[in-house]
């Protein structure tokens, strides 16, 4: 009977060791799987962020390019005939309300405001700073 108990204890210990090994292997497999999923998701997040930044950059470049072209066009119109340039009229055009809202002004070399799409005050405005 003593031998039977020792065998039973050994049998239980062996089963316990096997069960512990199996649980440890399952946990190790889960950890490896979770690490791979994390790395895959992190790579996807970096790729998506990179694509988003590229899209925003292209949009910003187009917007600034459009503003730059408009300002160059207005500058040329002002050079040809300063009296005919109607900046408040331009500001009421639907083209201006569809894009970014900006204030446009024409200044002389000394920084004195000559024309604006807003009301120009009667006294000279110095924006040289």
Question: For the segment 25-52, what is each residue's pLDDT rounded down to a tens digit?
Answer: 999 999 999 999 999 999 999 999 999 9
Cβ count within 10 A of residue 112: 13
- Cα 49 to its chain centre, rounded Å, is 8
CA distances from 57 to 46, 62, 63, 65, 67 (A): 16, 9, 10, 12, 15
pTM over 0.85: no
Residue 98 pLDDT: 63
**Which is more confident, 36 or 15?**
36
Q: Are 16 and 24 in contact (CB under 8 A)?
A: no
């Amino acid at each position: 009977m003593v031998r039977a108990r020792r065998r039973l204890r050994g049998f239980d210990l062996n089963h316990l060791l096997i069960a512990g090994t199996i649980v440890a292997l399952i946990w190790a497999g889960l950890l490896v799987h979770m690490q791979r999923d994390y790395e895959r998701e992190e790579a996807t997040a970096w790729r998506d962020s990179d694509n988003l930044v590229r899209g925003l950059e292209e949009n910003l470049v187009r917007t600034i390019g459009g503003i730059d072209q408009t300002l160059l066009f207005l500058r040329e119109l002002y050079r040809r005939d300063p009296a005919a340039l109607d900046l408040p009229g331009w500001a009421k055009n639907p083209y201006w309300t569809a894009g970014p809202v900006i204030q446009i002004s024409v200044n002389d070399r000394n920084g004195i405001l000559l024309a604006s799409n807003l009301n120009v005050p009667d006294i000279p405005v110095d924006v040289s700073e």
